[in-house]
């Protein structure tokens, strides 16, 4: 029996979980009133005046991350704060996509805007379409950070989409 990888469904699950959790917030108590102080509030992030990157620059990052022909060691430069220890997880990601019949993936990055929380980062709505017939499509907000000569997927976004370190070196306990 062939084991089906869960990479693409995992991303869809994360999206569904976010929607479900936001629906649960109705029952939460109302937020506490903000304290009244005369101290200046935290300064908002200054608007970035440089142009947004072209969508193709972000799509290139995702295309290379999903390509099983690119070794994981070469993919670490595509994820913020990734280390050599993350290479195996990046290799597994591309292999799982291939084994699941999802490749080649096509990406569309839209609604690009500067991040409200991290200066210099860009947030985009990324629509992913698999090669599987019929094609599966899902959209997910992803954040990218500038790197020396291009862009990287933020670690926060990568952690939502990939399983870094989980199960990579785990062994089962002795009987």
> pLDDT tens digit string along 99-147?
999 999 999 999 999 999 999 999 999 999 999 989 999 999 999 999 9
The full set of domains in the chain, from first to last, is: 51-161 (3.10.450)
Q: Could you give the maximum distance between any two Cα atoms of the chain, in Å?
A: 66
Of the candidates 113, 146, 145, the one whose C-alpha atom is nearest the C-alpha of residue 47 is 113
Q: Over 50: is that where the pLDDT of 40 sits?
A: no
Q: Where are the beta strands (DSSP E) in the chain?
A: 106-114, 122-129, 137-147, 150-153
Please say whether the beta carbons of 138 and 11 come within 8 A: yes
Per-residue pLDDT, averaged over 13-30, amounts to 36
The pTM (predicted TM-score) of the whole model is 0.69
CA 141 to chain centre: 8
pLDDT at 33: 52
Quick count: other Cβ atoms within 10 Å of Cβ 66? Answer: 23
């Amino acid at each position: 029996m062939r084991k089906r990888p869960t990479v693409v469904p995992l991303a869809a699950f994360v999206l569904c979980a976010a929607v479900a959790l936001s629906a649960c917030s109705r029952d939460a108590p109302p937020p506490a009133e903000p304290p009244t102080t005369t101290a200046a509030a935290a300064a908002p992030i200054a608007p970035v005046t440089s142009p947004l990157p072209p969508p193709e620059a972000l799509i290139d990052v995702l295309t290379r991350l999903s390509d099983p022909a690119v070794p994981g060691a070469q993919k670490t430069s595509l994820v913020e704060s990734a280390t050599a220890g993350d290479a195996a997880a990046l290799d597994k990601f591309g292999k799982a996509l291939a084994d699941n019949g999802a490749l080649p993936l096509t990406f569309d990055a839209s609604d690009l805007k500067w991040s409200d929380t991290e200066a210099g980062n860009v947030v985009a709505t990324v629509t992913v379409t698999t090669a599987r017939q019929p094609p599966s499509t899902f959209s997910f907000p992803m954040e990218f950070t500038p790197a020396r000569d291009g862009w990287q997927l933020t670690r926060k976004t990568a952690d939502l989409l990939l399983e870094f370190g989980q199960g990579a070196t785990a062994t089962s306990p002795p009987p």
